[in-house]
């Protein structure tokens, strides 16, 4: 079974304290302000049927207690079915909250579809629902096989459409409810094989024809279509239909897809209420291309066709462009220097996305929550209209925590599935399409606008503290050498001196007693980032350490790693009797980012030359570096007992 | 799998399905003893047991279940 759909894998897994949070939300009740936001937050995890039921109970209790469920928007949905929907009803309720809807489900007695639709004072009609969902499957339809007989087949299809029309008219006559019709998932079994599709009057042929007629009708009638046939096809008819569950309890389809089905109904209701999302904000590195533009350069990033990774990222670009064509606005939020981030858009021949396609282009070193807020303001759209796509779980976590109204899909390890995961999430579900939609993206004057950041998003420090980071310091050793050499040779942006060393030179530094080396690793709650920083200090004739090399992976910028590295350097300098640290900044085309690295760390500038090269000093004794909330592991260092020269 | 382990995991399943941590899973426990154990909840229980133990029951097997002890025997024969 493809678990992306069945397990709603674009949603994060429920946290360990889900049950407690649910209990707390339940205890709050009408007295404690609006539980609506917390209920929506609780719904925004991948919940199985049991959890959906528990959440539904809490929502119902809150509603019964008269609580105001703002900002959830109320919607009354009547569900008519020929099958058992008792387990679906609570799933629908809880899934509604996920999409900002306070759903109320009206469920009449089992298998009373026609009676409920046609009787003026039926339970459904009297409840004056906002919409009626005809959740019927093929078994409820007047279908008769007429193998090879095209005329009778056409009559059968007409009969079915007539039946559905009658149901519709019944509802329309007695309430002003919107009608939501499902397409029909055909049975998995065929009687000929391939011929079932082509020969008139087979079950498959008849159901195909009914679905086509329903689809055509939907656009003209103003009724809403829920493409259950498409959904069943996507996950697989053989998994969708469960003969055991039908036989035992008249379940319309397998329980494993009930959370998915409920989510699709909820999306549809949200779309009816205008709550579909309207903008897609894209991260760049390893999302829209493979690799990091700042380090790998134009030649190194992977977009090219014919390269598996490149193809995967191109698929993301293609999907973004298709979405843009139907009116979704595109924006960029990337941790990069602006000019560097724009280069592939301007110069890479395989880029499908161009700057023209991007309404707002935020590439800077500030946190993404602040940037996304600025993008939303610039587009005059609410945060609840935004979707943010980023391969980095740390960035995803930050935006989810600071801006909970933004939709941030989980992404799998393999970029091959990025496009599919974004599409599966259905953030942009729509029930209507108008010519204006085609032009909407253009209204935002796609000129890749750069917005100045003003109000900083609060809570970044607290989020970083919650990451449980562990930083590990070791001297150079044989095990780390390959990665050390790699970092030394490919780091361009966060690189103070850009000195390139080959394997033998690194080995030399390893063994030289007058050289202090550091390989730095960072792990956090999301996993091990591996080696992310390298430092080489050389003892000079004045009892000082010259910082020969200091580089860091941009992936861990903004987490105060460099402050912790400085702290470790100072600890070792002190025990070795070193009086001063001397740092140098050698400007290159790519390392403007670190022009004030030493200044930020508290060094004093002592020299600058015409090329822009700067020299900095820090007194070891009086130094007081900032610490960050992370656990420090320092291992592998020989005890240093050396007196300064 | 040891019987004790089966009972332990089954206990978790019951607490999850019935949203009630006070249920004690004993061999004689059956639908008449637990509030809300109707036919639909029974299905939900079976489906959750299948997922928790990574097994599948046949229609006939499910039909024969009268009490928890029967369920435990069925699970034992599968894991």
The CATH number of whichever domain residue A59 belongs to comes to: 3.40.50.1110
Is A118 inside a domain boundary?
yes
- When pLDDT is cut at 50, 70 and 90, the band that residue A639 belongs to is low
DSSP A250-276: --SS-GGGHHHHHHHHHHHHHHHTT--
Q: Do A353 and A305 share a domain, yes or no?
A: yes
Q: What is the pLDDT of residue A643?
A: 47
Choose the final residue of a domain: A429, A464, A499: A464
**Residue A54 to residue B59, Cβ atoms within 8 A:** no
Residues 7-26 of B with CB under 8 A from A: 16-17, 19
Instruction: Pick the closest to residue B15 from B2, A60, A91, B29 (CA basis).
Output: B29
Q: Is A168 on the interface with B (CB under 8 A)?
A: no
Q: Is A50 on the interface with B (CB under 8 A)?
A: yes
Q: What is the pLDDT of residue A33?
A: 61
Contact in structure between A553 and A487 (CB atoms under 8 Å): yes
**Residue B40 to residue A54, Cβ atoms within 8 A:** no
Q: Do A247 and A301 share a domain, yes or no?
A: no
pLDDT value at A1 more than 60: no
pLDDT value at A224 more than 90: yes
Q: What is the pLDDT of residue A30?
A: 44
Report, as an integer, the average pLDDT of A602-611.
95
Range list of β-strands (E), A326-435:
329-335, 360-364, 386-389
The CATH number of whichever domain residue A518 belongs to comes to: 3.40.630.30
Q: Do A478 and A609 share a domain, yes or no?
A: yes
Phi-psi region of A282 (alpha: psi -120 to 50; beta: other; left: phi over 0): beta
pLDDT tens readout for residues A512-561: 999 999 999 999 998 899 999 999 999 998 999 999 999 999 889 889 99
**Residue A244 to residue B59, Cβ atoms within 8 A:** yes
pLDDT tens readout for residues A60-111: 999 888 888 989 999 999 999 999 999 999 999 999 999 999 999 999 988 8
Q: Do A528 and A416 share a domain, yes or no?
A: no
Q: Do A481 and A349 share a domain, yes or no?
A: no
Residues of chain B positioned with their CB less than 8 A from the CB of A244: 58-59
Is A90 inside a domain boundary?
yes
Residues 6+ apart with CB under 8 A from B67: B27, B28, B29, B30
Instruction: Pick the closest to residue A496 from A343, A335, A616, A338 (CA basis).
Output: A616
**Residue A84 to residue B40, Cβ atoms within 8 A:** yes
pLDDT value at A26 more than 90: no
Give the distance from residue A83's alpha carbon to the nearest chain B alpha carbon, in angstroms.
13
- When pLDDT is cut at 50, 70 and 90, the band that residue A564 belongs to is very high
Give the distance from residue B59's alpha carbon to the nearest chain A alpha carbon, in angstroms.
7
Is A641 inside a domain boundary?
no
Choose the final residue of a domain: A236, A251, A272: A272
A71-80, A314-323, A449-458, A479-488, range with the lowest pLDDT: A449-458
Tally of domains within chain A: 3
Is A261 inside a domain boundary?
yes
Report, as an integer, the average pLDDT of A464-474.
94
- pLDDT > 70: what percent of chain A? 97
Q: Do A431 and A489 share a domain, yes or no?
A: no
Q: Which DSSP category does A77 fall into? A: E
Q: Do A254 and A392 share a domain, yes or no?
A: no
DSSP A506-567: HHHHHH-TTEEEEEEEEEETTEEEEEEEEEEEEE-TTSEEEEEEEEE-GGGTTSSHHHHHHH
Q: Do A294 and A247 share a domain, yes or no?
A: no
**Residue B43 to residue A247, Cβ atoms within 8 A:** no
Contact in structure between A410 and A424 (CB atoms under 8 Å): no
Instruction: Pick the closest to residue A42 from A61, A67, A74, A17 (CA basis).
Output: A17
A142-146, A311-315, A624-628, range with the lowest pLDDT: A624-628
Instruction: Pick the closest to residue A491 from A554, A434, A540, A541 (CA basis).
Output: A554
Residues of chain A positioned with their CB less than 8 A from the CB of B65: none
Report, as an integer, the average pLDDT of A35-42.
93
Residues 6+ apart with CB under 8 A from A206: A143, A145, A153, A156, A157, A160
Distance CA A169, CA A171 (A): 5
Residues of chain B positioned with their CB less than 8 A from the CB of A50: 16-17, 44, 48
Q: What is the pLDDT of residue B51?
A: 93
The CATH-assigned architecture of domain B3-78 is Orthogonal Bundle (1.10)
Q: What is the pLDDT of residue A583?
A: 97
**Residue A49 to residue B59, Cβ atoms within 8 A:** no
Choose the final residue of a domain: A464, A489, A521: A464
Neighbours of A47 (CB within 10 A): 25
| Residue with token string 């917390």 | A38
> pTM for the complete prediction?
0.90
Q: Is A31 on the interface with B (CB under 8 A)?
A: no
| Residues spanned by the domain of A15 | 3-272
The CATH number of whichever domain residue A322 belongs to comes to: 3.40.50.1000
Q: Is B59 on the interface with A (CB under 8 A)?
A: yes
Q: What is the pLDDT of residue B72?
A: 94
For residues A456 and A4, which has the higher predicted lDDT (pLDDT)?
A4
Q: Is A1 on the interface with B (CB under 8 A)?
A: no
pLDDT value at A28 more than 60: no
Q: What is the pLDDT of residue A645?
A: 43
Q: Do A607 and A474 share a domain, yes or no?
A: yes
The sign of the dihedral angle between the CA atoms of A355, A356, A358, A359 is positive
Q: Do A460 and A485 share a domain, yes or no?
A: no
Closest partner CB to A50 (pick from B17, B40, B58): B17
pLDDT tens readout for residues A158-181: 999 999 999 999 999 998 899 999
Q: What is the pLDDT of residue A437?
A: 77
Is A643 inside a domain boundary?
no
For residues A448 and A505, which has the higher predicted lDDT (pLDDT)?
A505
Is A529 inside a domain boundary?
yes
Best mutation site among B16, B60, B62 for testing chain A: the one with the most A CBs within 10 Å? B16
**Residue B16 to residue A50, Cβ atoms within 8 A:** yes
Closest partner CB to A248 (pick from B17, B43, B44): B43
Neighbours of A492 (CB within 10 A): 20
- pLDDT > 90: what percent of chain A? 81
Residues 24-43 of B with CB under 8 A from A: 39-40, 43
Is A642 inside a domain boundary?
no
Asked if the bond preceding A270 is cis, omega within 30° of 0, the reply is no
Is A640 inside a domain boundary?
no
Instruction: Report domain extents, chain B.
Output: 3-78
Give the distance from residue B17's alpha carbon to the nearest chain A alpha carbon, in angstroms.
6
pLDDT value at A446 more than 70: no
**Residue A54 to residue B19, Cβ atoms within 8 A:** yes
pLDDT tens readout for residues A362-389: 999 999 999 999 999 999 999 999 999 9
**Residue B44 to residue A247, Cβ atoms within 8 A:** no
> Closest chain A residue to B15 measured between Cα atoms?
A50
Q: Do A157 and A228 share a domain, yes or no?
A: yes
Distance CA A551, CA A534 (A): 5
Q: Do A14 and A130 share a domain, yes or no?
A: yes
Contact in structure between A30 and A67 (CB atoms under 8 Å): yes
Residues of chain B positioned with their CB less than 8 A from the CB of A251: 43
């Amino acid at each position: 079974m493809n678990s992306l759909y069945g397990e709603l894998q674009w949603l994060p897994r429920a946290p360990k304290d889900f049950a407690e949070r649910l209990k707390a939300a339940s205890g709050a009740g009408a007295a404690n302000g609006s539980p609506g936001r917390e209920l929506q937050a609780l719904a925004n995890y991948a919940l199985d049927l049991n959890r959906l039921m528990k959440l539904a109970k809490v929502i119902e209790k809150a509603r019964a207690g008269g609580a105001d469920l703002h900002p959830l928007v109320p919607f009354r949905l009547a569900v008519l079915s020929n099958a058992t929907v008792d387990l679906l009803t609570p799933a629908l309720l809880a899934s509604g909250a996920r999409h900002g809807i306070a759903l109320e489900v009206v469920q009449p007695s089992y298998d009373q579809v026609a009676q409920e639709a046609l009787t003026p004072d039926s339970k459904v009609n009297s409840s004056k629902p906002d919409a009626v969902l005809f959740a019927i499957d093929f078994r409820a339809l007047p279908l008769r096989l007429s193998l090879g007989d095209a005329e009778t087949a056409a009559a059968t299809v007409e009969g079915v459409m007539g039946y559905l029309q009658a149901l519709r008219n019944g509802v329309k006559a007695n309430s002003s409810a919107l009608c939501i019709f499902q397409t029909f998932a055909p049975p998995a079994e065929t009687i000929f094989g391939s011929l079932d599709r082509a020969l008139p009057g087979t079950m498959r042929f008849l159901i195909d024809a009914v679905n086509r007629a329903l689809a055509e009708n939907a656009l003209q009638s103003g009724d809403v279509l829920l493409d259950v046939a498409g959904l069943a096809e996507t996950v697989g008819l053989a998994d969708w239909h469960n003969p055991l569950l039908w036989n035992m309890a008249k379940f319309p389809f397998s329980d494993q897809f009930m959370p998915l089905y409920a989510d699709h109904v909820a999306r549809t209701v949200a779309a009816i209420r205008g709550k579909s999302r309207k903008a897609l904000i894209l991260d760049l590195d390893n999302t829209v291309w493979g690799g990091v533009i700042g380090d790998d350069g134009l030649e190194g990033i992977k977009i090219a066709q014919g390269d598996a990774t490149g193809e995967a990222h191109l698929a993301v670009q293609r999907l973004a462009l298709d979405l843009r064509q139907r009116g979704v606005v595109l924006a960029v939020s990337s941790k990069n220097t602006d000019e560097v981030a724009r280069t592939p858009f301007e110069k890479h021949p395989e880029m499908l996305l161009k700057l023209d396609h991007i309404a707002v282009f935020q590439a800077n070193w500030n946190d993404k929550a602040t940037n996304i807020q600025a993008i939303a303001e610039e587009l005059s759209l609410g945060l609840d209209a935004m979707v943010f796509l980023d391969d980095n779980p740390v960035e995803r976590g930050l935006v989810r925590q600071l801006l909970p109204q933004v939709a941030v899909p989980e992404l799998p390890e393999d970029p091959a599935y990025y496009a599919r995961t974004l599409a599966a999430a259905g953030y942009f579900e729509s029930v209507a399409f108008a010519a204006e939609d085609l032009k909407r993206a253009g209204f935002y004057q796609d000129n890749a606008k750069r917005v100045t950041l003003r109000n900083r998003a609060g809570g970044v420090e607290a989020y970083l503290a919650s990451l449980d980071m562990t930083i590990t310091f070791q001297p150079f050793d044989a095990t780390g050498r390959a990665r050390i050499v790699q970092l030394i040779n490919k780091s361009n942006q966060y690189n103070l001196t850009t000195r390139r060393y080959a394997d033998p030179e690194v080995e030399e530094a390893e063994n030289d007693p007058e050289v202090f080396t550091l390989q730095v690793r960072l792990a956090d709650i999301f996993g091990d980032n591996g080696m992310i920083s390298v430092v080489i200090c050389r003892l000079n004739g004045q009892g000082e350490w010259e910082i020969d090399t200091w580089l860091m992976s941009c992936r861990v910028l903004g987490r105060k790693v460099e402050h912790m590295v400085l702290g470790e350097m100072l600890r070792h300098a002190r025990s070795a009797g070193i009086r001063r640290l001397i740092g140098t900044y050698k400007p290159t085309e790519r390392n403007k980012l670190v022009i004030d690295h030493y200044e930020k760390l508290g060094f004093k500038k002592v020299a600058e030359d015409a090329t822009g090269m700067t020299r900095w000093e820090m007194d070891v004794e009086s130094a007081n570096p900032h610490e960050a909330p992370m656990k420090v592991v320092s291992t592998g260092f020989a005890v240093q007992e050396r007196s300064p020269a | 799998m040891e019987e004790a382990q089966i009972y332990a995991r089954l206990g978790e399943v019951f607490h999850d399905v019935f949203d009630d941590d006070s249920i004690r899973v004993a061999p004689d426990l059956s639908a008449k003893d637990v509030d809300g154990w109707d036919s639909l909840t029974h299905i939900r229980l079976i489906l959750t047991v299948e997922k928790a133990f990574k097994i599948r029951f046949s229609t006939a097997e499910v039909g024969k279940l009268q009490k928890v002890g029967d369920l435990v025997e069925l699970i034992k024969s599968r894991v």
